[in-house]
Structure 1
Amino acid sequence: MRVYHRGGTMAGCFLLLFPILFPSLFTPLSHASLSVFSEWNAPKPRHSRLLKSALQCQTTSEKQSDLWMPLAYQGWKPCIESAASNLPEKSEGYIQMFLDGGLNQQRMAICDAVVVAKILNATLVIPYLEVNPVWQDSSTFMDIFDVDHFINALKDDVAIVKELPDGLSWSTREYYATAIRPSRIKRAPVHASTNWYLDNVLPVMQSYGIAAIAPFSHRLTFDNLPKNLQHLRCKANFQALVFVPHIRHLGDALVNRLRDPSTKSNMVGSSNYLREVSEKYKQGAGKFVALHLRFDKDMAAHSACDFGGGKAEKLALAKYRQVIWQGRVLNSQFTDEELRNQGRCPLTPEEIGLLLAALGFDNSTRLYLASHKVYGGEARISTLRSLFPLMEDKKSLASSDERALIKGKASLLAAVDYYVSMHSDIFVSASPGNMHNAMVGHRTYYNLKTIRPNMALLGQLYLNKTLSWPDFREAIVEGHKNRQGKIRLCKPKQSVYTYPAPDCMCQG
């Protein structure tokens, strides 16, 4: 059921408030039953003056050429030193990891699991991917990643098996869910040291032949790790993890259609569409921008920011926070203005569109929208589409038959977006997060252009309701000069998955 709120009708407001006023009728709520809070018509544009100016402006050919220029070589290249094979003849036992989070958080945890197995001299069981409470996707490691390539790429570093031997087949997710088990390590500290694993996990593994860590995410330190272990992290992330063939094939098809719209003709079947593309597809021909638009209800609720939907929206998001996180994520103690000044509010489709327009992209730009369901639906996206009419996504680019294998699978959908984004000429993310971090690091590794929005600057600019378009554009260009792929060296406590230099790269 969808509830549409149309500017002040009492019936609409009451429908939205009903589950809040009468919570007993709606408790307990499953994730699926949250549809009562589905998107309603999005509010009017919040930056209509800037939007009007952006729609009237066109970018010169010279500026467009600069935009699409690949990054110059920055003195760093991929460099993962392969140590000589030093696998011991016998492992200490098996290590199981149960990984929570979404696809990109799980990706980083997989790489950490490889390193933990190395530290313990253990045989790693292909990690188990937990079902995320928000995305509700039961896809396994083997559904997403090429498991044979993963095992083969790391065969000289870590012993990896697809499943446990018969004698240990009792060690399952269901087994650990029913009672406290001595072979399970439940409270692994965040960013644990190598010594912690040797002191706390190795004895368990030696006693039972297996140790299971659940949950496992962000459980290995980035600091004071031997160089060979950091290199193994890099090898796992940048070399061992590749998507299954059907994800890569679909991703290649989408990239080809973005680069050459004529290849879409057999699917679209519209001469008008192709004529429109040929007229608008002028500058940056054959090139496209991948935009990761993380603006789903989960992100909107977690941020506690105001997105212009009025009291009904605030109440709906507050209820969503209560149901999904059960009090662990509270209403913010900061005002919306304070949150925006701190750069803590995800950019709406309208705001990311204005950023791109100010940087010089225009209505001839091919834009790939890498996104899960957008909060507010198509109505919320309409302003972005008005700025970039050649915007595409998985649904518009692929046929229903092509999408059949990934339909309803959030992790597989995210994998396609990741693959297409890695092959884009420019990548930009509308908000920091695991996809942003993983993509920034992966594209840094290959010296690809990536625009990192200056969230604090943007928050301040969008709060200024009197700012003219020329001043806005000047502030945007100036504030993003050094945020388009410049290599930043990894600092203490930072992730090598986001900042791969110098651990995963060498100079020269």
Structure 2
Amino acid sequence: MVKHRSSSRYSSSARLFSIKAISVYLILIFAFTIWVFVFSSINIQTDDHQTQDHQQHQRRDPRKNLQKPNDNLDSQLWIPPFSYGLHPCVKPTPRYKEFVESDRYITVRSNGGLNQMRTGIADMVAVAHIMNATLVIPELDKRSFWRDSSVFSDIFDEEHFIESLERDVKVVKKLPKEVESLPRARKHFSSWASVGYYEEMRHLWKEYKVIHVAKSDSRLANNDLPIDVQRLRCRVLYRGLRFSPAIESLGQKLVERLKSRAGRFIALHLRYEKDMLAFTGCTYGLTDAESEELRVMRESTSHWKIKSINSTEQREEGLCPLTPKEVGIFLKGLGYPESTVIYIAAGEIYGGDDRLLELKSRFPNLVFKETLAGEEELKGFTGHATKTAALDYIISVESDVFVPSHSGNMARAVEGHRRFLGHRRTITPDRKGLVKLFNKVERGQIKEGAKFSNLVKTMHQDMQGAPRRRKGPAQGIKGRARFRTEEAFYENPYPECICSSKEHKEP
């Protein structure tokens, strides 16, 4: 009897222990599940570490519901990288000091093409704010390769520019008569300068009322600037520098026509123009006569510092624009079908239609401004490269996919704008890696096909425009030379002008 009661107590204790063990096990499982959920919710997808499963990506992206059943296989070619709730943020912080009325003026001569001038103007607005000066509407470059005679109001909405920045800096259309004849301090401000540098430059106001700036590009550092200065730069570039009504209107019409024609399209910034090839010294695939023409142009252009360039070395280092043929091979390797509509965002292609043949043989649906717009619509744009570049910019920003063949000013500006607007898909070719593959194709070591395509896709799986922080200077480089190796602020304005979902979302 005693033995029975002892066995019963033992059995009860065992059951109690088993229940406790199961409870602890369930608690641990629950805690682990919560931890995984929290970790996943705060994890930000980056270009360098895209660890999220593509199917999970599709489930979270609301655009999946817009995909047709037969689009499932190629949807990964078109949908933007998941942005995890990141959104534009350009509002000043509570510490921001608004503009104070000033009788000191800064005049500016903007240099370069459209996008070099745009980013330079944004820099100079910030400089005027730091130096507490009134900014005179900048003079646009008329001495560049394109020699465009357009003035500020031809390209930008001047009234909107002035009004949208009224809390940041006073902008006037011209110098007041009483200061027009006064001596000016002609200044070439240092490249990639800090706020401290411009605060020191205020000593010029002791002697002058007007400072003339000969160059506008790269006047401010990319990194280590106060957040309010960075956000001001973004307010100027993405809100203040709106194109003129005529350009905006036609640009949006062309976007609508492209979308109605194809539903979705690629904007290809095919930087295969005479000035770019001459500047970079890239002659691969050209005739001897064409190569000589570019050499003469480079050597006779006084402000281009490098005169002698080894074209083969330049190409192997990935410093040359992709040729039209190489772009065709690249896009086909990524998996884009032959029916894809490709808008060519570029000036006159060097070599004309003949040079485009091998791109067109792979992708026959090439579209140009001249085929989208009527002759009457383009009448005011003829002979004005800056205006036509503005059309290309609008279409490139609004495209489903943007692909630049070279990392120039427009490529960087468009990529930055697309990141700002929600990390729209931007595919940046690894030109150095691609040249190695192209050379193997040329030597017969590999053929265009499944194996080649897999290599291209693997090479570019982390180069699709997904969120990531701006890159700092290259390791091992010291002094001012390090600034040249930093990623441009306007190429990637994250984190200063792109905020997480935890912060208040701006309209």
TM tier, smaller: 0.7 to 0.9
Report the counterpart of residue 79 of structure 1 in structure 2: 89
Distance in 2 (alpha carbons) for counterparts of 1:364 and 1:306: 30
Aligned partner letter, 1:490: R
User: Does residue 1:122 correspond to 2:133, yes or no?
Assistant: yes
Distance in 2 (alpha carbons) for counterparts of 1:107 and 1:114: 11
Q: What are the ranges of 5 or more consecutive residues in structure 2 without an aligned counterpart?
A: 1-69, 473-485, 502-507
Report the counterpart of residue 13 of structure 1 in structure 2: none
Report the counterpart of residue 52 of structure 1 in structure 2: none
For these two proteins, the number of residue pairs brought into alignment is: 413
Which of 1 and 2 has greater Rg? Answer: 2
User: Does residue 1:298 correspond to 2:300, yes or no?
Assistant: no
1:368 to 343, 346, 357: 343
Shift of 1:234: 1.3
Alignment of 1:429-508 (within 5 A): 429-446=404-421, 447-464=423-440, 465=442, 466=444, 467-470=446-449, 471-492=451-472, 493-508=486-501
Report the counterpart of residue 426 of structure 1 in structure 2: 401
- On the 8 A contact 1:293/1:370 being kept in 2, the answer is yes
Alignment of 1:406-417 (within 5 A): 406-417=381-392
Distance in 2 (alpha carbons) for counterparts of 1:372 and 1:394: 10
- SS of match in other structure, 2:81: coil
Q: What are the ranges of 5 or more consecutive residues in structure 1 without an aligned counterpart?
A: 1-59, 172-180, 262-284
Distance in 2 (alpha carbons) for counterparts of 1:144 and 1:452: 28
- SS of match in other structure, 2:161: helix
Alignment of 1:207-222 (within 5 A): 207-222=207-222
**Which stretch of structure 1 is more off in the superposition, 465-474 or 387-396?**
465-474
Distance in 2 (alpha carbons) for counterparts of 1:325 and 1:233: 31
- SS of match in other structure, 2:192: coil
TM-score by length of 1: 0.78
Report the counterpart of residue 44 of structure 1 in structure 2: none
Shift of 1:116: 0.2
User: Does residue 1:159 correspond to 2:170, yes or no?
Assistant: yes
1:90 to 101, 110, 114: 101
* 1:87 to 1:61, Cα distance in 2 relative to 1, 3 A: closer
- On the 8 A contact 2:281/2:311 being kept in 1, the answer is no
* 1:327 to 1:234, Cα distance in 2 relative to 1, 3 A: closer
Shift of 1:208: 2.5
Distance in 1 (alpha carbons) for counterparts of 2:221 and 2:97: 23
- SS of match in other structure, 2:129: helix
Alignment of 1:25-424 (within 5 A): 62-83=72-93, 86-87=97-98, 89-91=100-102, 93-170=104-181, 182-185=184-187, 187-200=188-201, 202-261=202-261, 285-325=262-302, 328-332=305-309, 334=310, 336=312, 338-424=313-399
Distance in 1 (alpha carbons) for counterparts of 2:378 and 2:191: 37
- On the 8 A contact 2:121/2:216 being kept in 1, the answer is no
Distance in 1 (alpha carbons) for counterparts of 2:207 and 2:303: 37
- Percent sequence identity is 37
* 1:326 to 1:88, Cα distance in 2 relative to 1, 3 A: closer
* 1:481 to 1:88, Cα distance in 2 relative to 1, 3 A: closer
Deviations 1:350-395 (A, max 9, x none): 1111111111112211111101011111110111122222211110
Deviations 1:420-459 (A, max 9, x none): 1111111111111000000110001112111111111111
Distance in 2 (alpha carbons) for counterparts of 1:486 and 1:157: 31
Distance in 2 (alpha carbons) for counterparts of 1:299 and 1:86: 42
Distance in 1 (alpha carbons) for counterparts of 2:77 and 2:177: 57
Distance in 2 (alpha carbons) for counterparts of 1:479 and 1:393: 29
Shift of 1:303: 1.7
Distance in 2 (alpha carbons) for counterparts of 1:287 and 1:381: 22
Shift of 1:81: 2.5
- On the 8 A contact 2:101/2:170 being kept in 1, the answer is no
* 1:119 to 1:479, Cα distance in 2 relative to 1, 3 A: same
Aligned partner letter, 1:458: L
Shift of 1:88: 5.1
Distance in 1 (alpha carbons) for counterparts of 2:341 and 2:380: 26
Distance in 2 (alpha carbons) for counterparts of 1:362 and 1:127: 45
- SS of match in other structure, 2:391: helix
Distance in 2 (alpha carbons) for counterparts of 1:155 and 1:478: 48
* 1:439 to 1:203, Cα distance in 2 relative to 1, 3 A: same
- On the 8 A contact 1:454/1:480 being kept in 2, the answer is yes
Shift of 1:62: 4.2
Aligned partner letter, 1:496: F
Task: Calculate the aligned-residue CA RMSD, in Å.
Answer: 1.9
Shift of 1:61: 5.2
TM-score by length of 2: 0.78
Aligned partner letter, 1:128: E
- On the 8 A contact 2:265/2:341 being kept in 1, the answer is yes
Distance in 2 (alpha carbons) for counterparts of 1:306 and 1:206: 52
Deviations 1:210-233 (A, max 9, x none): 111102221222233112111111
Distance in 1 (alpha carbons) for counterparts of 2:254 and 2:381: 14
* 1:87 to 1:69, Cα distance in 2 relative to 1, 3 A: closer
- SS of match in other structure, 1:449: coil
Distance in 2 (alpha carbons) for counterparts of 1:132 and 1:453: 31
Deviations 1:292-321 (A, max 9, x none): 111111111122223222432222211111
Shift of 1:147: 1.4
Distance in 2 (alpha carbons) for counterparts of 1:399 and 1:288: 20
Shift of 1:182: 4.9
- SS of match in other structure, 1:428: strand
